[in-house]
Amino acid sequence: MRSQHYLVPQHDEGTSTDLEYRATSPTLEDAEDGFVAAKDALLDVNSWAKLLVPTVHVHLADAHGKPVSRSARRGDHLCLDSGSPDHDYEWVLIESLEYDDYPDELKETFAMRLHAVAAPGQPATATFTEEASGTLVVERLGRTLHTLYHWRDRGDEHLSRTGLWHSISNDQWLTIITALIDANA
C-alpha cells in the first residue's frame, strides 16, 4: 500500500482517490521558483475555471458566498456548478491552508484542505454529505515538483461516484494538478 502524504487526514473506511503528478526542474532555483508559481496558481481558484469549462463552472466565494476575485484564503468557498439545467450548486469550504519548509531536506510543502458544506446561510439538502473532504498539495523535493489530490468520503451513498468531488471528475482534478506545474514550466 502506498504511503499517505502527511498533510492528508487519516482515512480507514469509505472511498478514496489519490492522484499525483511530478516534474523535475533543471536546477534547484528553477524548482524553487516553480514551487512558488504552483502555490500561487493553486490559490488562484478562479483560474481553475478555464481548465474545467464547459463541463464545470467554479468560482471563489467569501465566507458569505459572495464571489470574489483574489487569492483563496482559509474560510473561503469554492462554488461548483455542473451546468445542469437546475444549476444545482455545490459548495466546498477551504478548511485550511498549510505551508511547511524544511530547508535542511530541500523540501517545502503547501496544502489546501477542502471540506464539503451546505451553501453559506442555507440548510443542507437531502443529497448533501459533510463526510467528503479533499486535499490539494504542492510539494518541492529538491529539484522535483509534486502536485497531489487526495479525496476522501466516509459516506456509503457516494460509492458509485468514487473519485468525484461532486461535479469534478478524477480526469478534471488531474488536469488541474498537472496545470499547476506545467503552466509555469
Question: For the segment 45-101, what is each residue's pLDDT rounded down to a tens digit?
Answer: 998 877 776 677 888 999 999 999 999 999 999 988 766 666 567 888 999 999 999
Tell me whether residue 6 is in a domain.
no
Question: For the chain, what is the domain count?
Answer: 1
pTM of the model: 0.84
Q: The domain that contains 135 carries what CATH number?
A: 3.30.530.20
Tell me whether residue 102 is in a domain.
yes
| Mean pLDDT to the nearest integer, 146-165 | 63
Tell me whether residue 118 is in a domain.
yes
Tell me whether residue 37 is in a domain.
yes
Where does the pLDDT of residue 164 fall: very low under 50, low under 70, confident under 90, or very high at 90 and above?
Answer: very low
CB 49 within 8 A of CB 61: no
- Can you tell me the distance from the alpha carbon of 185 to that of 180, in angstroms, rounded to the nearest whole number? 9
Q: 86's torsion region: left (phi>0), alpha (psi -120 to 50) or beta?
A: alpha
Instruction: Quote the pLDDT of residue 124.
Output: 65
Tell me whether residue 2 is in a domain.
no
Question: In a 3-state reduction of DSSP, which class is residue 110?
Answer: strand
Q: Which domain holds residue 41?
A: 15-182
Which of 32-41, 72-81, 153-162 has the least mean pLDDT?
153-162
Tell me whether residue 140 is in a domain.
yes
Tell me whether residue 123 is in a domain.
yes
Tell me whether residue 87 is in a domain.
yes
